[in-house]
Each structure stands twice: as structure tokens, then as C-alpha cells.
Structure 1
Amino acid sequence: MKIYKAAFTLALSVSLFTAVAQTKTAAKKPNIIIILADDMGYSDIGCYGSEIQTPNLDAMAQGGLRMTQFYNASRCCPTRASLLTGLYQHQAGVGDMMNTRNEPAYQGYLNQNCVTIAEALKAGGYNTLMAGKWHVGQSPEHWPVKRGFDHYFGLIDGASSYFTPTMPYRPKQKLTIALDDKEFTPGPNWYSTNEYASYAIQFIEQNKQTHKPFFLYMAFTSPHWPIQALPEDIAKYKGKYMQGWDKLREARLARQKQLGILAQDTKLSPRDSLVPEWDSLTPEEKDRFDTKMAVYAAMVDRMDQNIGRIKQKLKELGEDKNTVIMFLSDNGASNESIKGPGFTPAVLEASKKPASDPTSFTSYESLGANISDTPFRLFKHWEYEGGTATPFIAYFPGVIKPGGISSQPGHIVDLMATCLDFAGISYPKIYHGNTIIPTEGISLKPLFTGHTWKGHNGLFFEHEGNRAVRQGDWKLVSQKPANKWELYNIKTDRSELNDLSAKYPEKVAELTALYNQWANRAGVIPFEKLGRPIGVGE
């Protein structure tokens, strides 16, 4: 009898211990990581059709969920403001760039009627970490540590050399690398992509000692111009782009169809009007382009390598199975060039050097951007799919089923609600005495976990006079200065090649009214009516 009682007591103790352990495990809040690429096109990673080697992102896609119709705000600053706050960028105070204007929706830095994901999660018991590009407030009072981040390391500004990141490229410019709330002086052997990831890893290691969950916003500058890469990465790709842009775009589209990213009847948009016939180039011009593409590919490759480093550190710390990771790009590929009076004479000279030279300062322009945005039209800055569509990967072992692909439209405003949902934290109505604008986003957690997701009644876009609204399969879009609405059925015409506005004028009127309601609510001002900037930040 005594033996039986002892066995029963032992079994009960084990059962209670197991129950307590299970409760603790169930109650343990997940770490959350958002990884943001900079100026990377829709087709630039392997799991979205690229020939570029991105094994770490591909593994996350295979082990998680890919969203094929996820949207950003088509430009660096607006996307970052919207992503961080769960609001449209105008509501957060960054309706354009970091250009200071008198209009509140265009003041050029985050206002006090929004909260960042970091502020909301920190209030709920998270440690909050950031590495990389900030670009939503240049003055020290607007830096990341003033907007909820416990630790920060990275570039306050919009772009910089990857080897000498504080070197000005605009006249009268000052570029800042910061560690927490202090300016940081870069040392030798610097390469930005490596350095930002190294500090992120250091922050994660330090966080382990606190026994608290963490939020990491890993905002790479790669592959934003200037296109600069390490020699060993460039060597992998030199010569791979000599087949020319038409064949490269066709090959990427074929892979996208094979992967299930795009429908089998998706058509390739015509080669951009600024891009000539490949065979019209001289051998020297072909080699120059091949070099630029090899360098660009190397930048994406190196970013993926560093994502692998972060994932490896999570595994070493035993945090890999309790971390949700989301990856996306801030806008479509950039066709911007390094030309004109906006750059210093030294940078204009450096733009003439081969892209493989670490002292060069150049971009791949429309020639490369047209490949990166396969199969879409136009680029960063415009509201066509080429400007706003981003690859999106969600990865959470044991929670998100492997190998999923969703075509439901999602938007960067959803990331705030998604993070708070996973963390079990409510979105605040008041923060530091300020009334907070209700979030525009809808949590993606149900979609990630295989449940019904209601989605949005409409998604809205505006940047410097370029506009769009998407509702269901319909998308209304216009570009400045024509300002003429075009109508597309995204389900049957993802590349936006067949304007249906003349055929369905009632749908144009309906979506126009929907857009105007949103624009009034969000504080959008027609770009030509905006006041001149009273201060300019890059």
C-alpha cells in the first residue's frame, strides 16, 4: 500500500510538473522578427523565380507561407512609416519622404498620434531591437531609441556607401551611423550588410540573459544603390547575365509559374521603353551590364547569407522554434540613376567606374530594374504592381504549415496587428497621453495558421501624385502627370496590360469614390498643392 501511495504521489508530482511546464510553454510569447529588404524587386529571390542564390530565404518559404499579392507603399520612407505603425503613411506623418513640410501628414517624421510596433510590444513586456536603415526621422529626437527600441544600430538616413557609410553623396549632406542614441564611427573592413546583421545577432545574444521575448526589426539597406558587393560574392555571378534582359525576364517568369507564384496565363509586360534591344549593345556595354547585375545579385546573396547567420544564432540559443519571421521588400526595384546636380562631383566620377570596383558609386537603372520586377510594369515610386508588389514570406516552425502559398491581398499596415496578435497584446488607444489613431491593419495570424482571413475591403496607395486602390480583383491606378484612372482585373491580368476603364465606367466611378473617401480620411494632399519643403532629409 505504501509503495502504491508513493508511486501515486510520484505520478501526481510528475503530472503536475508536466502540466505546469506545458502551461509555461503555452504561455511563452514568441519572438518576432521582421526582415526588410531595400529596393528589391518581386522576382529577386529564388523562391520567387530568381537565379540568385538565396537558400536561407528559400528554406523559409519551403517551411512556411508565401503571399503572392502582398503590398508595400512603393517608396522607402512611406513604407517604413506604414509598416512600423500599422497606419497609412500620411496618418503617421510621412506622406512623402523625410522632407519637412508644414502639413502634418507630410512633416517627414513619425508623429505622436501613432505608435510603433516597438512601442506597443515594449509596453507588453518585449525587449525591442533594431538594426539597419531607419529613414523615418533624421533628428536625434526622432531616432529609433526615441520610438520604442531598446537597442539600435544602423543608418539613420536613406542610403550610403556599403564600404564607407558616412561618406556624403549629396551636396551639404551628413550621413549618420548610430549605436542606440549616439553617433558611431565605422572602422576598417566595413561592409554594411554584414555589420548590421552582426549587431542584430549581438542584440539577440544579450537578450537571452533577460528571459524576455524580443522583437527585432532587421532593416537591411541591400540591395539599394549604390550597387556594391564583396569580390567573393560577385565572382559567383559574373558572366551569368550575358544572355540579355529579354531571356532573363522570360526565364524568371517561367520559374514563377513553375513555383506557383503566378498563374500559368500570366503575361510578361513589354520590355521597358528605356531599355534597348540587347543585341544593339556593344560588347563593352554588355559586359558593363553583366557586371552591374553580378554585383546586384551578390548584394542579395550576401543579405541571404546574413539572414542565415541570424537563423543559426536563433538555433544555437534554442529560440528557433519560438520565433516568427516575416520577410518582405520596401518597394519594387529602383530604376534610379546616379546623375545630375543632386550628387557630388566625386560621386558622379565614381559612377563611371565598373560596379565591381569598391570605390564605384553606381546603380543598375531601368536595365536591371526591369528584370527585378518581372513580370510587372514600372518600378519603385509608381503604384503599378512593379512599384508596390513584394515577395512576402512568413515562417514559424510548428505554427505555420510548410509550403503554403496564398494569393489573398495583404498590406504592410497588417504587420502591426499581426505582431500584437502573436504577442497577445492590445493595440493602444492612448500612448504617453496622446490619442492614437486606430490601426488600419488586420492581423494575418489566422491566414498564417490556416484559418479564414476576412482581408480588406480596399487597399490604398498614394505617392507624389501616383495613386491606386485595390478592391477584390479590381485595381484602379493612375500615374502623374497624366492623372488618368486605368482599371485592371488583377486576377486575369496581374501585369496590368489590359486597361478596362472604358469598358466598365461604373466600376471606375465606384472605385474612384472609394479612393477619395480614403484620401480625405488619411490626409492625402494632391502633390501639386503641397507646400515646398522647409527642410530636406535624404
Structure 2
Amino acid sequence: MKATSYIMLALIWCSVNNTISAQQKASRPNIIIILADDMGYSDIGCYGAETQTPNLDDLAKNGLRMTQFYNASRCCPTRASLLTGLYQHQAGVGDMVNHRDVPAYQGYLNNNCVTIAEALKAGGYNTLMAGKWHVGTDTAHWPVKRGFDHYFGLIDGASSYFTPTMPYRPNQKLTIALDNKEFTPGPGWYSTNAYADYAIKFIEGNKKTNKPFFLYMAFTSPHWPIQALPEDIAKYKGKYMQGWDRLREERLARQKASGIMDKDEKLSPRDKSIPEWDSLTPEQKEQFDTKMAVYAAMVDRMDQNIGRIRQKLKELGEDKNTVIMFLSDNGASNESIKGPGFTPEVLAANYKPATDPTSFTAYETLGANVSNTPFRLFKHWEYEGGTATPFIAYYPGVIKPGRIERQPAHIIDLMSTCLELAGVSYPKTYNGNVITPTEGVSLVPLFKGQPWKGHNGLFFEHEGNRAVRQGDWKLVSQRPANKWELYNVKTDRSEGNDLSASYPEKVAELSALYNDWAARADVIPFDQLGKSKGE
């Protein structure tokens, strides 16, 4: 055969290969998971807020909203569970990033789980991440060691939005990383913008590879400290002077009008620690208004950056072939910046006005009770106020626009969902390690409007707080009382009517179900855990 013939065959072979690759990419969508941090159930427009979130609202209008989607009630447990499709204890993060000599509580992802990034990378995806990691602080456990091709963001759990490596706890080191190296932030830094900047750079770089991508966009907004840009704060100053009771009532009314809440759903009582609005001084009212305005501005800026990412997808011609899922890692946080866990400088900064970029403060229970409308309690507890999250899914041509789905689902489902979207199998082994079978159920049938089998039960445990949900029944307890309470969440989503005394057989049935799960998932009663070796 002549040399020219060989060249022609080679060109034909390359052309066929490129065509196959392009067809394969077209049939496999890009996948983006966007995670907010400490954002309450009612904090975006399409879930009842007065906050301006036009980009998320548009995703909801043209996609799917789920009303009963659950997280693990705290930052790192949720992140471990979301990334691996396992309950957090099975992944090694049973209690934050605290190190204990127990495999389920080692404080970083173990070798018997795979991340979504690891599974999709093996299946031909480029894997990208920007934002908060918080499931392993040592360099051996950074994102690039767990399947991500590129990473930019905060390795730790929280930081100032303007000076992100400034320690807020004694003897603390905070790290911003680019791929596998520490990164030094420059002037003009604002975390929400910076993380989105790099997400966009990664998406642009991916275009050259002719491969689909997975992006895990983990914003730190609106986790404390509440810090925002002046132009965003100006939109909201004065909007919260009507007080918390009125704000909660208006949010619930909007939730009912949009179909997020049933028409007969009741608002949980104002938290017992919160006084009557009219008992406050003018100065106290103004301080609440300011903190709420800053908090809303943080959510607003996150939404703006989601819009920037969507615009980049459109510019690159990727918008029609990208699945976007949005949720929060837990309910709103009632935490305060007080006590010996913070440096003297940060404790002093807590008393500066929230509009001051050198402040370091939180909106505490007063704001969190509004954010979690209509639910009770907050981040850390297993009531709906701790575990219920907005969930939006957007997939042009697949998800029917404007749908509202009321079936309960959980962060463990995102692994199976991503793998089915990508046509990738969940591995039985990875890097020579046996992988724990996933706990999740793919949401893809639900996205398509098809029958979805869901779960026989969903389970929750964090630092001794416990819950199990099966069907319309939810059994929940909080430490240290450790007393089971029973609620019918179909008729009482706000968990105001404890039915445990009326249905003791249901309590026994669900507690046995919980105990079986806890044994299987290696949950250890919190009071029996050894002392933590620190974060």
C-alpha cells in the first residue's frame, strides 16, 4: 500500500474517532452541583424570600423544585455524604473533621468510598471544583487527591470573605488552594466572586478537551461571618424593619402561593429565645435590619455569580447540554461569634456594624428563625429546620419546566443521579480498595417524570441528634433529652404536634428501623465517642 493510502486511512480513522467522541459528549451532559452554605429553606425567591435571586428563580421556573429534599444538618457531614453517595459515617466523617480513633469518625474521606469526581473521571469526565472543601484538611486529602482535575477554594470550614486566610480561632491556619498548592489572595478579594471566577476559568479550559465536565461549585455564602459588598447591601437596607414575625408570615404566604407549602401548613412558633419585635429599642431593630440586609446581599451575590456561570455556558454553547442542581448543606445557622473558641480580635470584630468589611459577626437565632420559615430549630438539629433544603434541578429538554415534586429525597441520591446521567457505573473497587455500596437512588426517573421508587427510610444523626423518616412519618430526638418524638410531616411539616403518645407502635417500629441503620452505618452514640484530637 502506498504511503498516501496509509495517510488517507489515518485521516479517516481520526475523523471517525472525533465524530464518535463528539457524539458521545453530546449524549452525556455536563453536570453542575451548586451548594450554598448555611442557607435556610426560605432564603431564595422561589422558596419564599424577598431576596432577589433571578438566576435561581429562572432555573426553578424552567426546571424542577423539590419540597422535601434533605441534607445531613451540618457542613462537613453533608459534603461527605453528597460527594460519596453514602451516609457520612460510612465515608469517615461521622462528626465533622474531628479526628478520632474510630474509622467512621476519622475526620476525612476514607478509602472505602469514592467521590462523584473519582467515579466520573474514570468514566471520561473532566472534574472541576471551586469553593469550600471541608472534608479533609491535610494535603493528602485535598480535592485533587479525591478525583478533581482542578480545584480552587477554601480547604477549611469558614473564613472572612475579604481576608480569607485570617485565622478566627486560636492557633488556626486557613488555606486557599489552587489545585494542590497554597494560593495567596490578592487585593480586591471577595470569596463568592473569586470562587466563581475560577469555576468559569475551569469551564473555559474544559472546552478545549472535547470531554464533558462535572463541576462542584461549593459557595461559602451565606455562612458566617456575614460580610457583603456595599452595592448589594444597599438593595436591602430598611426592608427588615417590619420585624421577624411579619417577615416569617409573608414568606410562608409566598410559599403557599407558589405551591412550595400546602395551603393549610402552619408557621412554627417563634423561637422561644426571641422576644416580641415591639419590645426592642430602635437601635436593636436597626441592628437586626442591618444584619438581615447583609445576609440577603450575600445570597444575592451568590445568585449573581450563578448567573455568570450560566452566561459562560451559553457563550460556549454548553447551556442546552448541562444539568444544574442547587441545594444548601444544612438549614440556617443560629450560631454566634462568642466564647473562647474565637480569637480576641474576632470577638471584638463581632461588635462592629455588619456593614463594616472588618466586622466578623453572625445574624444568630433572630435571623435564622426567619431563614428557616416555616420550620423549627436550625443547623445541627435533625428537625426540618436543620435538614430541609431547597433543591432545584434544571435539565433543558428533559425536566418539564415549572414542576414541583413532593417526594422525599436526600443528598445520598446525588451520586447515583450523576452516574446515571453520565452513563457510568458505580465501582465495586477503586484503587485496590473495596467500595461500600451506595445508599442513594438515582433521581433521573423523577427528572423525567417517570415513576420513582424512592427510599424505604431516610436516616439522620449528628452529635447525638437523631431522626428517621419513612413515608409521611418522622421520628426525631435531640440530645441530651434523647426522647423520641413522632410527627406526620404530611399534615404537620413544621413538627408542632408530637404524636408519640398516641402511636407507640409506630415509635417502636421506626426506632427499630433507626437502630438497624445505625448499626449498619457504624454510628456510635455521641456520649460514647472518645475525645476529639482536634480539627
Common topology (TM > 0.5):
yes
Task: Give SS of 1:451's match.
Answer: coil
Aligned-partner Cα distance in 2 for 1:282–1:359: 25
Equivalent residues in 2 for 1:523-534 (5 A)? 523-534=522-533
CA shift for structure 1 position 28: 2.7
Equivalent residues in 2 for 1:200-279 (5 A)? 200-279=199-278
Partner of 1:487: 486
For 2:70, give the aligned amino acid.
Y
Aligned-partner Cα distance in 2 for 1:29–1:533: 43
For 1:164, give the aligned amino acid.
T
For 1:322, give the aligned amino acid.
N
Partner of 1:438: 437
Equivalent residues in 2 for 1:245-324 (5 A)? 245-324=244-323
CA shift for structure 1 position 308: 0.1
Do structure 1's residue 178 and structure 2's residue 168 form an aligned pair?
no
CA shift for structure 1 position 25: 6.8
Task: Give SS of 1:197's match.
Answer: helix
Partner of 1:454: 453
For 1:33, give the aligned amino acid.
I
Partner of 1:12: none
CA shift for structure 1 position 274: 1.2
Aligned-partner Cα distance in 2 for 1:511–1:28: 42
Partner of 2:470: 471
Task: Give SS of 2:96's match.
Answer: coil
Do structure 1's residue 427 and structure 2's residue 426 form an aligned pair?
yes
Aligned-partner Cα distance in 2 for 1:455–1:386: 22
The alignment covers a number of residue pairs equal to 518
CA shift for structure 1 position 393: 0.1
Aligned-partner Cα distance in 2 for 1:142–1:527: 25
Do structure 1's residue 56 and structure 2's residue 55 form an aligned pair?
yes
Partner of 1:134: 133
Aligned-partner Cα distance in 1 for 2:27–2:521: 37
Cα distance change of structure 1 residues 78 and 22 upon mapping to structure 2, 3 Å threshold = closer
1:111-162 Cα deviation digits (max 9, x unpaired): 0000000000000000000000000000000000000000000000000000
Aligned-residue identity in percent: 82
Aligned-partner Cα distance in 1 for 2:207–2:342: 44
Structure 1 residue runs of 4+, over 2 Å off? Answer: 20-28
Aligned-partner Cα distance in 2 for 1:97–1:345: 24
Once superposed, what is the RMSD of the aligned Cα atoms?
1.2
Aligned-partner Cα distance in 2 for 1:48–1:218: 21
Unaligned residue ranges in structure 2 (runs of 5+): 1-15
Aligned-partner Cα distance in 2 for 1:23–1:347: 53
CA shift for structure 1 position 29: 1.1
Aligned-partner Cα distance in 2 for 1:53–1:156: 29
Do structure 1's residue 366 and structure 2's residue 385 form an aligned pair?
no
Partner of 2:397: 398
Asked if structure 1 preserves the Cα contact closer than 8 Å seen for 2:274 and 2:366, the reply is: yes
Equivalent residues in 2 for 1:52-131 (5 A)? 52-131=51-130
Aligned-partner Cα distance in 2 for 1:121–1:183: 26
For 2:190, give the aligned amino acid.
Y
Aligned-partner Cα distance in 2 for 1:509–1:55: 46
Aligned-partner Cα distance in 2 for 1:25–1:227: 44
Cα distance change of structure 1 residues 344 and 480 upon mapping to structure 2, 3 Å threshold = same
For 1:59, give the aligned amino acid.
D
State TM-score, norm by structure 2: 0.96
Task: Give SS of 1:387's match.
Answer: helix
CA shift for structure 1 position 399: 1.1
Task: Give SS of 1:391's match.
Answer: strand
Task: Give SS of 1:209's match.
Answer: helix
Task: Give SS of 1:97's match.
Answer: strand
Cα distance change of structure 1 residues 313 and 485 upon mapping to structure 2, 3 Å threshold = same
Aligned-partner Cα distance in 1 for 2:46–2:532: 41
Do structure 1's residue 191 and structure 2's residue 190 form an aligned pair?
yes
Equivalent residues in 2 for 1:370-389 (5 A)? 370-389=369-388
Aligned-partner Cα distance in 1 for 2:465–2:148: 32
